Chains A and B, each alone.
Chain A
Amino acid sequence: GEDVEQSLFLSVREGDSSVINCTYTDSSSTYLYWYKQEPGAGLQLLTYIFSNMDMKQDQRLTVLLNKKDKHLSLRIADTQTGDSAIYFCAPHGSEKLTFGTGTRLTIIP
């Protein structure tokens, strides 16, 4: 089945850019999602990219997709305290959406 890997933790200073990386194994993934989950809250769809795209920008968020290397990244510009959360990478593979372990983003004041 699909395997999705992310680093568990990332700490960034307020105002800097955050880059969260993800690798996956299923090359048939069509949509690749990024979800945000704040403590005690549900999954919030942050952004997504379709597999025939290399990059997608949405305000402070930039998603990069390297399909050859099966590598996905999420860049958050001008990171704010409200960005503190767990971020999940979730490629939609041949049959289902598979989630990574999540990266806990901590903002340093």
Chain B
Amino acid sequence: GAGVSQTPSNKVTEKGKYVELRCDPISGHTALYWYRQSLGQGPEFLIYFQGTGAADDSGLPNDRFFAVRPEGSVSTLKIQRTERGDSAVYLCASSLAFRDRIVFGSGTRLTVV
């Protein structure tokens, strides 16, 4: 597609529920990134995929967070047993290859109530 697409744009969920956030990168982009931006802060790195594999998942805060990219294109960020502290904007980005110019999607705003 023309840009990085993230769905849904907004998600409200109850504490303890499971959520999935989807990212469609730009067609042909092999590198895909997930970031999280809490209110009043800069985006924080979560995980980076090169193709289908997670090349760096050092930013995932704990084992409730998991991300997949099974066919090297669309990625899903999964959060189990959501907590109020997970409320943030989750940003996805992609680039043609590692270290190429990175393009961000508009994000999914997650609110845990």
**Which residues of A are at the interface with B, using a C-beta cutoff of 8 A?**
30-31, 33, 35, 41-43, 45, 48, 88, 92, 95-102
Contact = CB atoms under 8 A, between A and B. Distances in A.
A99 B44 CA distance: 7
Contacts of B56: 95-96
Contacts of A98: 45
Q: Chain B, interface size: which category? A: 20 to 34
Given A31-B99, A31-B101, A96 B43 contact: no
Interface string B54-74: 011001000000000000000
Interface stretch (B11-19, B77-85, B104-112): B104-112
Given A33-B102, A88-B42, 10 more contacts: A31-B100, A43-B104, A43-B107, A48-B101, A88-B43, A95-B55, A95-B56, A96-B59, A97-B93, A102-B41
Interface of B: 33, 35, 41-45, 48, 55-56, 59, 89, 91, 93, 99-107
Contacts of A42: 89, 91, 104-107
B107 A96 contact: no
